[in-house]
Structure 1
Amino acid sequence: MKSEVQPEQQNVPAVAAQQVGATRSINDYAESAARYVTTGQRGAANTQRAYAGDWQRFTLWCQEHGRHSLPADVPTLAAFVTALADAGKKVATIQRHCASISKAHQLARLPTPTDDRQFKELMEGISREKGVRQKQAPAFTLAYFKRALHSIDAARPDGLRDRALLLLGLAGAFRRDELASIDIGHLHFDEDGLVVDLLHSKTNQKGEAEEKAIFFSPDRRSCPVRAVKDWLHLLEQHGRTEGPLFLSFHKGQRLSRRRLSTFSLNEIVQLRLGAQYTAHSLRASFVTIAKLNGADDSEVMNQTKHKTTDMIRRYTRLDNIRQHNAAQKLGL
């Protein structure tokens, strides 16, 4: 995000004569306090990146049309979102642009044009005309997943890594950034399986203690705990006993020291499972498969770390007309 939207230093009340402890006055805490406030306002790293791109698009559009981006008036914002809608952008994309513009104004301590009543009516009209249904990552069946898993050559280092990545991603219902950010030190094995420390997540931006439990599977070929252990054994052979769990490879199957990016992680899922799937399909499939096997919402939420059952219903992909259908229970 451009410098014009960076928040100004916060004013922290100071009492020059008052001392905190033996050496520091309240003034000494101003810089740290301002940093904490700024961190709270900005939000998660992924959100910052998305907002930065949307804000840049808006500022460029304003420059092209001779309008001010900060502060932006309602007619300017209305023209911008109308241009997005006419260009075929999805409602969710338009709403995200509005959120980034609103955030920029909040950080600059300026009134946000998105609060205007007439602008909200415009957005309501766009939503009604274009519809608000979001394209969601498709879920796969467990049978399909196992067939794809068994086709991976585990004799190759990247095959060993990809098996561990797919199994851990599914069994742990991880978001892609969570999966990519796992370090070896976050893994704790015991006789029941594996516990993964989850330091940060979309719903846990404050770093509160969260864990995910991964269990042994009777079938070794589809056991996430054993797959992770196999991958760790290979890492240990290369002297990697700490740092990122999932690493990229140089050409020729030479292990690098670079953490696997979320983009590469997504490519691996599509390579192994098919181009129609994404890394988010691992999480969506966990919810769908678990629900079809009788798990209740609280059990699912214990692993996904969702905060509401509404999100569980949204994540459940029951697209097959014969799945989870009450017509089977009529007793005819």
Structure 2
Amino acid sequence: MEVLPVSPDPRSNAVGAARHIDDYAESAARYVKTGQQGAANTQRAYAGDWRRFTTWCHDHNREPLPADVPTLAAFVTALAEAGKKVATIQRHCASVSKAHQLAGLPTPTDDRLFKNLLEGISREKGVRQKQAPAFTMAYFKRMVQGIDTERPDGLRDRALLLLGFAGAFRRDELASLDLAHLRFDDDGLVVELPKSKTNQKGEAEEKAIFFAPDRRSCPVRAVKDWLALLEQHGRTSGPLFLSFHKGQRLSRRRLSTFSLNEIVQLRLGTTYTAHSLRASFVTIAKLNGADDAEVMNQTKHKTTDMIRRYTRLDNIRQHNAAQKLGL
């Protein structure tokens, strides 16, 4: 019987020769590790905490990986007695847990008695976390409008503050923006976020920035003024916010997150940090009647719980139902 030739699968040319299943193991392991590691800032914090833990283990002749429950319990007790905050202790535990996960080992943080220890530390020390304070709109506008925009760094700093506040940007998001991420139209400005703390996969995420009636505090016009200066220096691509050399000479270096925080404190006062821009956006928007969905559309928070955490309503007269009694 004649055997008919089998037509090759047209997809075979696209995917190449078949690979043995073991050939995928290395790539799969890399993907798993990338998925477990998290955001860059988180990785840096975990790395520092892990170094501290391994140094402590070395000094006390303990094994850091795998670590047993008594070792970790002694370590966190030492942190607590050294006056470390609960949030700091919890972060160290998370870094130890992450190291064990990446090594494919059971983590001592899952132990029931160890969890009881953390609960006891939290109860004794309190869990209230120091938060970046929020400013009022009147204060913010006064400080921004007082910036000398005859200086190049004044143009940059005004644009940075107004964009950071109006877009509720995280510090690393603001520092990582490129000119290519900006899109102007009749309504204002759309900023594309290639990646963020809650968007590690690089999915499309955008923030809308609107024109303000007062040109002196308009984020869209402030960014345009800064772009005009960049263009004068032939900078039509690359980082949005750059550092300066001495004498107001524009450099090619992207502004670091550390420098960004310094600018916020220089322009707004040492009470505030770069995170105050984001916290103030949430607080002021809520005081002006914005609902959680509207706020989350700009901040990109995933839960309303985070909105409540970010809202700074410490003033007893702010957002108080006693004003609505009709007395």
TM-score clears 0.5: yes
Check if 1:25 corresponds to 2:5. Answer: no
Corresponding residue for 2:7? none
| 1:1-332 map, 5 Å | 21-26=15-20, 27-332=22-327
Q: Please tell me the root mean square deviation across aligned C-alpha atoms, in Å.
A: 1.4
Residue correspondences, number: 315
From the CA coordinates, give the structure whose radius of gyration is larger. Answer: 2
1:117-176 per-residue CA deviation (whole Å, 9 max, x = no partner) reads: 111111110000001110000000000001101111000000000000000000000000
Query: 1:31: Cα distance to partner?
Result: 3.4
Corresponding residue for 2:4? none
Residues 61 and 327 (structure 1 numbering): CA distance in 2 closer, same or farther, change over 3 Å? same
Query: 1:71: Cα distance to partner?
Result: 0.9
Of stretches 164-173 and 24-33 in structure 1, the one that deviates more from structure 2 is 24-33
SS in 1 for 2:252: strand
> Unaligned regions of 5+ residues in structure 1, if any?
1-17
Query: 1:28: Cα distance to partner?
Result: 4.6
Q: So what's the TM-score if we normalise by structure 1?
A: 0.93
Corresponding residue for 1:15? none
Query: 1:24: Cα distance to partner?
Result: 4.6
Of stretches 314-323 and 283-292 in structure 1, the one that deviates more from structure 2 is 314-323
Q: So what's the TM-score if we normalise by structure 2?
A: 0.94
1: distance between equivalents of 2:262 and 2:212?
A: 26
2: distance between equivalents of 1:254 and 1:81?
A: 48
Query: 1:22: Cα distance to partner?
Result: 3.5
2: distance between equivalents of 1:24 and 1:253?
A: 59
Query: 1:29: Cα distance to partner?
Result: 3.9
Query: 1:20: Cα distance to partner?
Result: 8.5
Contact 1:266 1:279 survives alignment (8 Å): yes
> Unaligned regions of 5+ residues in structure 2, if any?
1-11
SS in 2 for 1:162: helix
Of stretches 135-144 and 312-321 in structure 1, the one that deviates more from structure 2 is 312-321
Query: 1:34: Cα distance to partner?
Result: 2.5
SS in 2 for 1:214: strand
SS in 2 for 1:189: strand
Contact 1:19 1:25 survives alignment (8 Å): no
Of stretches 208-217 and 42-51 in structure 1, the one that deviates more from structure 2 is 42-51
Query: 1:322: Cα distance to partner?
Result: 1.2
1: distance between equivalents of 2:28 and 2:106?
A: 24
Percent sequence identity is 85
2: distance between equivalents of 1:158 and 1:53?
A: 33
Corresponding residue for 2:6? none
